[in-house]
């Protein structure tokens, strides 16, 4: 059984398992495990690792339209280096502060491979301001498809990490590339934008598996199709620095994933209110269709391809 | 830096890091990571692993005197076997149900070594019934020292797992030993007992590091000493089945740890109320002394020895 199959099995087994996060008793709870081989490429600082791993869980809270309350992390490594541990904690604390949550520590474990498990907690409904969590299932034909921020940051960062590793040891550009890649890796979880979207969005999730896969998941949950306009997809500038041409840049921005932006559907007449309330650009990239019209990018079928979390 | 040093560093760095769990905004949050080599000996079923790993976090909620709300687990393994995964989820769900909490799922990760990271959430103070979380710092000379349930279950279980592994393959007693060891490993988190103790206890923690180490930690936090009466320590019957004599049994029960019982200090005149409210035996095993009187077991100094979580 692969990871997607196993996750589907869990969904079927557990009632309270929600979309991006579980909802219980006014609380939103979500947990993620990340580890060296796949999630922290060579050159990722521990500060970035702390930021990013906690941010991944906070992004799930954002995707529910909830406020973020707290996060914890279990940190496993072959040995505990004081500076590395403090850098990790600073990264974790800083990203919590950025979304008005509190990093409240965690557990340590001796482990062959650097591994981080994070949990974030938020409030919605009864515990928050009365707004119900936004499901994946409410998109209606005619709604507009929106994304927050820009797409492709992680794709660009990974390419930069790779180029830095390939560069000769004395090459000063390697250090610059790594710094820029770390920067791109430290995304800001869209908690405030999620709050702005929540009263208006009919469906919402984060783009951690890539825009294409996210649209397929929303299509499945909402029983709808989508028409996306490639020209409107907000490709991050960094993607153009690593992609050969515009078509390659669009491909990375739509399928690579790990970007943790929000993908939401919003009735057209509520778009202005969302844009006014949000703290980041919310870009309209397409329209919700009937299911049988399929999922298209510039009129061509958009395959269910993207990042499967390993 | 070893794990205890690293944990102390984290405590110093983070404000909201509490005793057994962090307290924020009426919520109690705690996370733990467990993995194959040290935490799940050969013969541990996935049902037991699910139960025990979630129970370890629920025990931290219990130690704060909070109600348990929910738990999540990130499950990492080299491959996902349907039956193993379902057994794990059933174990996790069943232990949550036993303490009136809900298991709300988690994350899956491909990982060389079987690793589980669990987070439990509870409510206290504003979010619960108005009882403040019980700290480790309030023990006063003259208070009585109490423990819930029995001590030494995990020590006995580990010995049984080892004997089962040493037995020849066709030996039917190996299967019996493993079944009994799994049984002992699936402890019930003392959430209800923690609630019963909370209005009365001056200090409380769980015994996951062993009674001896717990007393040293309470001594440090409360600036007090302890006199423990060995005859009164509630040694689990299973310990006597694996220990050579009564002295060895007492040694295992006091130092081995991983038992997740509650160790609390209670004013003498409130003991009867605690016993009446608790759903498990609460045994009085000694007295709180002044710090300079030290920590003694039957009049002999009790060393700070026990299980250091690996």
Place of tokens 């996370």: B31
Q: What is the ipTM of this complex?
A: 0.84
Contacts of B111 in chain A (CB under 8 A): 33, 35, 113, 115
Contacts of A17 in chain B (CB under 8 A): 104-105
Q: What is the pLDDT of residue B132?
A: 76
Q: What is the pLDDT of residue A20?
A: 66
Question: Which residues of chain B have a pLDDT value below 70?
Answer: 1, 3, 6-7, 9-20, 37, 125-131, 169-170, 307-310
Q: What is the pLDDT of residue A310?
A: 37
| Nearest in space to A48 (alpha carbons), one of A185, A190, A189 | A185
Q: What is the pLDDT of residue A127?
A: 44
For helices B172-185 and B46-63, give the axis angle rounded to 10 degrees: 30
- Residues whose CB falls within 8 Å of the CB of residue A180, separated by 6 or more in sequence, listed in order: A157, A160, A238
- pLDDT 10s digit of each residue in chain A, 310 long? 676 676 676 666 665 455 667 888 889 999 999 987 678 999 999 999 999 999 999 999 999 999 999 999 999 888 888 899 999 999 999 999 999 999 998 888 888 888 999 999 999 864 445 567 888 999 999 999 999 999 999 999 999 999 999 887 667 788 899 999 999 999 999 999 999 999 999 999 999 989 999 999 999 999 999 999 999 999 999 999 999 999 999 999 999 989 999 999 999 999 999 999 999 999 999 999 999 999 999 999 999 987 654 3
Q: What is the pLDDT of residue B18?
A: 53
| Nearest in space to A114 (alpha carbons), one of A84, A89, A86 | A84
- Residues whose CB falls within 8 Å of the CB of residue B203, separated by 6 or more in sequence, listed in order: B134, B135, B136, B137, B138, B139, B143, B218, B221, B222, B264, B265
| Nearest in space to B144 (alpha carbons), one of B70, B232, B76, B78 | B232
Q: What is the pLDDT of residue A13?
A: 62
The partner residue sitting opposite B10, judged by closest CB among A29, A105, A113, is A105
Mutation pick from B14, B105, B308 vs chain A, by most beta carbons of A within 10 Å, is B105
Q: What is the pLDDT of residue B129?
A: 54
Cβ-based neighbour number of residue B108 at 10 Å? 25
Contacts of A117 in chain B (CB under 8 A): 31, 33, 74, 107, 117
Q: For chain B, which domains are there? A: 3-127 (3.30.1330.10), 144-301 (3.90.650.10)
Q: Do B1 and A93 touch (CB under 8 A)?
A: no
Interatomic CA distance for residues B205 and B20, integer angstroms: 7
Q: Do B89 and A13 touch (CB under 8 A)?
A: yes
CA A259 to chain centre: 5
Chain A: residue nearest B37 by CA?
A111
Q: Could you give the C-alpha distances from A47 to A200, A204, B77, B218, in angstroms and in order?
A: 35, 29, 26, 33
On whether the CB atoms of residues A92 and A55 are closer than 8 A, the answer is no
Asked if A93 reaches chain B (Cβ–Cβ under 8 Å), the answer is yes
């Amino acid at each position: 059984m692969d990871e997607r199959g196993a996750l589907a099995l869990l969904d079927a087994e557990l009632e309270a398992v929600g979309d991006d996060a579980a909802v219980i008793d006014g609380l939103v709870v979500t947990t993620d495990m990340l580890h060296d081989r796949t999630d922290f490429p060579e050159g990722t600082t521990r500060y970035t690792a702390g930021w990013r791993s906690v941010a991944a869980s906070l992004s799930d809270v954002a995707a529910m339209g909830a406020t973020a309350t707290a996060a914890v992390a279990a940190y496993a490594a072959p040995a505990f280096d004081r500076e590395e541990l403090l850098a990790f904690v600073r990264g974790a604390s800083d990203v919590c502060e950025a979304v008005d949550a509190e990093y409240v520590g965690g557990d340590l474990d001796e482990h062959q491979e650097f591994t981080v498990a994070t949990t974030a907690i938020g409030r919605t409904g009864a515990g928050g301001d009365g707004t119900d969590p936004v499901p994946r299932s409410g998109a209606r034909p005619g709604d507009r498809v929106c994304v927050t921020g820009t797409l492709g940051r992680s794709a660009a960062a990974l390419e930069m990490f790779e180029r830095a590793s390939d560069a000769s040891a004395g090459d000063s550009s390697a250090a610059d590339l790594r710094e820029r890649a770390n920067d791109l890796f430290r995304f800001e979880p869209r908690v405030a934008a999620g709050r702005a979207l929540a009263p208006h969005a009919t469906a919402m999730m984060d783009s951690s598996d890539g825009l294409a896969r996210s649209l397929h998941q929303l299509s499945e949950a909402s029983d709808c199709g989508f028409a996306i306009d490639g020209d409107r997809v907000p490709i991050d500038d960094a993607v153009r620095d690593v992609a050969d041409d515009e078509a390659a840049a669009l491909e990375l921005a739509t399928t690579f994933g790990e970007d943790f932006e929000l993908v939401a559907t919003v009735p057209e007449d509520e778009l202005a209110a969302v844009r006014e309330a949000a703290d980041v650009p919310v870009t309209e990239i397409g329209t919700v269709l009937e299911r049988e019209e399929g999922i298209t990018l510039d009129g061509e079928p958009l395959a269910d391809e993207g990042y499967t979390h390993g």
